[in-house]
Amino acid sequence: MKLWQKDTAALKEVEVFTVGRDREFDLLLAPFDIVGSIAHVIMLASAGLLTTGEKDSLVAALREIYKTTDPAHSSPFTIHPEIEDIHSQVELLLTQQLGDTGKKIHSARSRNDQVLVDVKLFLRNELEELVKSIGSLFALLQSQSEKYKDHLFPGYTHLQLAMPSSFGLWFGAYAESLVDDVITIRSAYEVVNKNPLGSAAGYGSSFPISRNLTTQLLGFEAMNYNVVYAQMGRGKAERIVAQSLANVADTLAKLSMDACLYLNQNFGFISFPAELTTGSSIMPHKKNPDVFELIRSHGNRIKALPNEITMMTTNLPSGYHRDLQLLKEHLFPAFKTLKDCISMAGLMLGHIEIKKDILADEKYKYLFSVEEVNKLVNAGMPFRDAYKKVGRDIEAGQFTYDTRVQHTHEGSIGNLCTAEIKQLMDETLNSFPFPTVQAAIGSLVNG
């Protein structure tokens, strides 16, 4: 069954090629397609295009179908092999149950805006789950930052010894990085949280529909007003979302690279229980950081995603094009991959073992050169003179130092500003309209 088919069937090879993996990813869209259809049915009735009885029958049937989209359902939702997509499958089920009433559900919409609203609802839900996952990792990073704030280790620039750092700073840096990552997700969420339903094939409809009503019913903050732009936004919304995922992936990849270095025996700053590492087939001493290496690689692959989407949509004119179908294959799996990486990073960091008194080793003595310069400056010597003096002492082998550090300014070793960073995250998390969205969707599917 195809919504567009009249009397002539497409060549089988054409059908197989054009459908591709769409059914596979349409299963992910199933609950959202049904939710969008419930809102559409309610709106059609308000516009006089369905009777109250037809609306009630359709909504009741759609709610029953919605229950089957739960994988735990005794008869989980499937798309029949002869059915082209999720939209056709839902319409077929309704027609089988309700006869001609089921055929009325497609009035005043096109597969184009139906796919658009499905994708936006899916992305909105996935972004919410991602934000919650990030929140858990953020809390762990902050907890570890406070726990290990007095444990110093080397800071590097150009991978050369630079100045003292601390594990409090290290954990806290990645916690604050996640704050900015969530800010970009909030921006992506705002782009996604606009209703395209009613734009039809991209040029609107002559039916007296109410796009404001479906916007309200689906819990969108606003709508994509211009019907041409609503279609043009497909590809753009995915690219913006992909960039927000890439930012999180970049944070995780950098953290993972640090962990791989610090676990290396030449650094030896951290370790993990043996069960969280892997071994070698011939070297019995190995404890490999495979988890972090895979997080790094997954992260780098997700960082390439915005460019993939950009290239797949390059030079497309306005209006719908089948190219856009393939975006799902690239973007949808990235959510699970990223959430898995976040979960595994949390598992590893929750069991990290920190080496104590790292900087007591004399090989790190030059980390304290800046501290000694600053002491001379505080005693009244001009900075350039103090810099030259300490430099000459180092060259002459006469450098002396103290491993105690006195950093008190905001964001430094002695003043991590953990509470202030948490406040930034809390403000960002609280700016998401998750409760409003959940209430709207709950009302549609539960009545």
List, for residues 396-415, the tens digit of each pLDDT value.
999 999 999 989 999 999 99
The answer to the question of residue 139 being in a domain is yes
| pLDDT on residue 8 | 55
pLDDT in tens, 96-129: 999 999 999 999 999 899 999 999 999 999 999 9
| pLDDT on residue 277 | 87
The answer to the question of residue 43 being in a domain is yes
| pLDDT on residue 9 | 55
The answer to whether the beta carbons of residues 130 and 335 sit under 8 Å apart is yes
275: which DSSP letter?
G
- 252 and 302 fall within a common domain: yes
- 184 and 321 fall within a common domain: yes
- 67 and 189 fall within a common domain: no
pLDDT confidence band for 22 (50 / 70 / 90): confident
The answer to whether the beta carbons of residues 69 and 30 sit under 8 Å apart is yes
- 323 and 386 fall within a common domain: no
Average predicted confidence (pLDDT) for the chain: 94
List helix spans (H) across 219-364.
Answer: 227-263, 290-303, 305-312, 327-350
The predicted model gives 336-353 an average pLDDT of 98
| pLDDT on residue 4 | 45
Contact residues for 263 (Cβ-Cβ < 8 A; gap 6+): 269, 270, 271, 272, 287, 289, 292
Query: Which domain CATH number covers 61?
Result: 1.10.275.10
Q: Residue 314: phi, psi to the nearest 5? A: -65, 135
| pLDDT on residue 283 | 82
The answer to the question of residue 215 being in a domain is no
Q: Which of 106, 121, 142 is the last residue of a domain?
A: 106
Q: If we measure between CA atoms, which residue out of 251, 269, 253 comes closest to residue 261?
A: 269
**Domain span at 67:** 12-106
- 298 and 349 fall within a common domain: yes
- 244 and 331 fall within a common domain: yes
365: which DSSP letter?
G
pLDDT confidence band for 21 (50 / 70 / 90): confident
The predicted model gives 241-266 an average pLDDT of 97
Global confidence as pTM: 0.92
CB atoms within 10 A of CB 378: 10
Taking 50 as the threshold, does the pLDDT of residue 194 lie above it? yes
The answer to whether the beta carbons of residues 34 and 69 sit under 8 Å apart is yes
Rounded to an integer, what distance in angstroms lies between the CA atom of residue 408 and that of residue 172? 16
CA 136 to chain centre: 14
Percentage with pLDDT > 70 across the chain: 98
Rounded to an integer, what distance in angstroms lies between the CA atom of residue 195 and that of residue 222? 6
- 175 and 276 fall within a common domain: yes
Taking 80 as the threshold, does the pLDDT of residue 63 lie above it? yes
Q: If we measure between CA atoms, which residue out of 392, 431, 415 comes closest to residue 146?
A: 415
- 352 and 367 fall within a common domain: no
413: which DSSP letter?
T
Taking 90 as the threshold, does the pLDDT of residue 237 lie above it? yes
The answer to whether the beta carbons of residues 215 and 178 sit under 8 Å apart is no
Query: Which domain CATH number covers 119?
Result: 1.20.200.10
- 39 and 123 fall within a common domain: no
pLDDT confidence band for 11 (50 / 70 / 90): confident
Single-letter code of the amino acid located at 371: E
- 81 and 115 fall within a common domain: no
105: which DSSP letter?
G
The answer to the question of residue 2 being in a domain is no
Beta bridge partners of 165: 153
- The strand pair at 194-195 and 160-166 is best described as unpaired
Percentage with pLDDT > 90 across the chain: 86
Rounded to an integer, what distance in angstroms lies between the CA atom of residue 199 and that of residue 32? 18
- 317 and 384 fall within a common domain: no
The answer to whether the beta carbons of residues 134 and 248 sit under 8 Å apart is yes
pLDDT in tens, 135-177: 999 999 999 999 999 999 999 999 999 999 999 999 999 999 9
Taking 80 as the threshold, does the pLDDT of residue 284 lie above it? no
Of 21-25, 71-75, 357-361, 376-380, which range is least confident? 21-25
Q: How many domains does the chain have?
A: 3
- 340 and 428 fall within a common domain: yes
Q: If we measure between CA atoms, which residue out of 353, 371, 395 comes closest to residue 151?
A: 353
The answer to the question of residue 365 being in a domain is yes
